[in-house]
Amino acid sequence: MKKIFILSILVFFTIGAQATKGNKDLITIQITPDHYDWNYKIGEPAHFTISLFRDQQKLNNIKIEYAVGPEKMVPIQKDSVLLKNGSVTIKSPGMQQPGFLSCEVRATVDGFSYRNLINIAYDCEQIRPTTLLPKDFRSFWDDQICRMRKYPMKSEMTFMPEESDADVKVYRVKVTHYIRGNYLYGILCIPNKEGRFPAVLRLPGAGVTKHTGDKELARLGVITFRIGIHGIPLDLKAEAYGSLQFGALKDYMYHRMNDRENYYYNRVFLGCIRANDFLTALPQYDGKNLAAYGGSQGGALTLVTAALDSRVKYLAAFYPALCDIGGYAHNRAGGWFGVKELTPEETKVLAYYDVVNFARYIHIPGFYSWGYSDETCPPTSFYSAYNIIKAPKELYLLKETGHWRYPEQNIKVNQWLIDKLTGKSESQSEWVQPEMEPATSFLHPKELKFDETVGIHFVFTPFTAFTFFHQIPYS
């Protein structure tokens, strides 16, 4: 009964977070590669079969436009063709180096435009970073952490009765940061029972937004601390975050890219360490089991924290950003927020903030999950980090996913974290694998675009302006 109860909690909260329904295309563009596993060897040609569906039926006599080439780069093939028999097969010579090949298809039906894109992998396990490791990388960050700790940590915890319940106590937290007058804000959730518990630092995706606490994991006996990165309270009115997003914090990831000590992410990375200072000082913390967890920007911060803080024993990361940021200068996809042109000084500075260099210092077990078709954090970029991690790593790969994830992924990561943090092996785990309903019982992926942000989230390609859309809250 205990196993069933725990699993029921996971499923309830995972599915319950999906209440808001997004847009689903009337016309489905299906792109099917000729390798079942979407994996190819260098120099191997690839075939893409393209079909359009409405009401589960193929459409005939529709003109499509397609483009095939290395992801985020200029297409090597581009043309249009008429779907006379409901499908057409596009032949590509493939790739001559490790990476991902994109097939993008567009169609107009009854005056409405539709688009789909998939990436296939060419020896993706051979992808390596283009970003070089500075000789003083580790000493630089050791010095930065020492600088931060010159300012003693002081914290304020404010109980939030409106968010708390019989199982979880929720607190608004304010912590002194790395310079006088600078603060770190977060939402703390503690199991409402006697004892000492493992802890998870929850790291945010990109944007400027309000954050909520991770009560789901707290209900399972884990302290969770979800932080913001911008040094602003997390309980402001919604319009305040919008004003900051388009005002003082617009394009924050580009702020002072030519200044190693004052680049925007300096205070952000140090904030993750400061958050752990607070977490590990809690009397309810068990003193040994600490994990970092996030997706997108939060996935990047997860890897950074794991590399810099030996107190972190486990990590869980979805599609990490900030990997091989300068990849575009080497004619391949770079990580979010990769830019096409960097000055020599910017290139030098960003090497100290590139996640691929932190990945070299990760020595703890990790759970990773993503898909091949992510257009926000290109897989070329995060594979460049993943491939150089020598620590034990588990990859839950769902190839079709982009910058979103299925409910199953959320259940998997929570299961993995609980197992690790409570010291249970797979054979000893109280978790049971759920008998999931068929995929069709869930909302369409386009309706389930989970990320680590709440409210307004931005997604953009490296050389374009931001595209904003509303996200539903999820941990």
- The residues assigned a catalytic role are 296, 374, 403
Contact status, residue 29 vs residue 107, Cβ threshold 8 Å = yes
DSSP E strands, 6-60: 28-33, 39-40, 46-54, 57-58
Q: Single out the residue of 306, 305, 389, 372 nearest to residue 333, CA to CA.
A: 372
Contact status, residue 358 vs residue 386, Cβ threshold 8 Å = no
> Residue 350: how many CB atoms within 10 A of its CB?
23
> Residue 320: how many CB atoms within 10 A of its CB?
30
> Residue 387: how many CB atoms within 10 A of its CB?
17
Contact status, residue 408 vs residue 369, Cβ threshold 8 Å = no
Question: What 3-state DSSP class applies to 375?
Answer: coil
Tokens of 380: 């070329």
Contact status, residue 178 vs residue 270, Cβ threshold 8 Å = yes
Decide the pairing of beta strands 393-397 and 366-370: parallel
Q: What angle do CA 54, 58, 63 make, to 5 degrees?
A: 90
Give the total residue count for the chain.
Answer: 475
Contact status, residue 439 vs residue 409, Cβ threshold 8 Å = no
Element (H, E) at 271: helix 264-281
DSSP string, 302-331: HHHHHHH-TT--EEEEES-SSSSGGGGGGT
Contact status, residue 225 vs residue 201, Cβ threshold 8 Å = yes
Helices 137-148 and 264-281 cross at an angle (nearest 10°) of 60
